[in-house]
Structure 1
Amino acid sequence: MTSEIDLDLQRLRIAIPADHDATKPLPLLVKANPENPNCWATGSGDQIFTTMEHAQNSMTLQSAEYKEVNAKRYDLSRFVKATVVPEDDNMVTLEGGDYFTDVQEMLERLGDDVVIDGEPNLPAWCFTTTRHGFDLDIEGVIESYMSDNHHEDAFNELVGFQKLSSFWVAWCAKQTVSSFYIDYSRIIVIDQERYERELAEAKAWLEASPHG
């Protein structure tokens, strides 16, 4: 191992000795020293720690394997905590997939695409969604504009705001536009037997791998 190492000196920080004259530069010698180290760098060189354990732990946290397991833990924890709800008039979806009008449409559209051993491998459950209608706060928009572009009391000088506000409330009530967003806290069960099996498997995996 060579004692010469490249350093990103803009990121390096040290504890200055108490007796050093802070008005003068502090001379340093930084080199790789496997025989008598007082700090450890991660294998990538991105971070430096005062103990080998901390360096190793940082490398573990940055590994692809750890991130994969942690992502699985996050997904399964969310699944286990989700509340089972009956289907309503909101759209349904699978994570990372399309949105469907209802469960029946989802199963019909997925049936030709998700096939294993010649048979449809359809989901045992799906996420429901939350509906967002048209609810733009016109008062907040105008207040923000006035605050950014006018003096402190300018909003109170506006003429006819109440008339505009009444018109806006009535106009918003006529709007039918809706957008749907996945709701990870609520799921709809499609196949009860398979859902219960997947739930039990998820709980068992989380019990065996409890720590992030």
Structure 2
Amino acid sequence: MVCLEFWYYAALLILVGLLENAQFQLDIMSICINYEFWTMMVALGFSEAVSVRVSNELGARRQKEAKFSVAVASLTSAMIGTIFMSIFFIWRTSLPRLFSNDEEVVEGAARLGYLLAVTVLFGNIGPVLSGVAVGAGWQMQVAFVNIGCYYLVGIPFGVLFGFKLKLGALGIWMGMLAGTSLQMAIVLFIIMRTKWEAQAILAEKRISELGGQRATIDRT
């Protein structure tokens, strides 16, 4: 799932390189993506933590604790994402100067900063929700959700806004935000509709099956 997300960003950068005035568009896009990746590292840490916690709690038939872990991790990541979002809103004209002294590039990145701020918020919540999915064993389902949202929604909308509507990097970022928002909404819906007791029973069944395989190997 992480690969699908990073390949998605790589595809977007390739699209930006096809725009008019590609060097300028790539400059502002690269600045914003760098900041997003920096903040995403925090979210990936929470993602790994909640993945392990949820899988352990479900395996131990502690479904209430698993559900509580999901709530705590999601709220914490949302709070951190809100802080990051506020930082990018407030200092959107100053932060690009860490990467470039070109005033045109700084102004372009500042215009993109509004969307970057919202993306940073979603980018802190989305990986945590994906971590919950991994811990619950839904990797395959979420992988298909990612493919649909990123590649069948995000990229086509980015092409529409960026090329057809002549919005450039801003339009491609809008398409990316649309795909990311849809992905997060679908995974959140799946989590909210989850019957955690049934998931705990399923996890116990998987553990029993794995234990049976190991016992067979040991006897041979």
Shorter-chain TM-score tier: under 0.3
TM-score with structure 2 length normalisation? 0.19
The structure with the largest alpha-carbon Rg is 1
The TM-score with structure 1 as length reference comes to 0.20
Query: Higher RCO, 1 or 2 (CA under 8 Å, sep at least 6)?
Result: 2
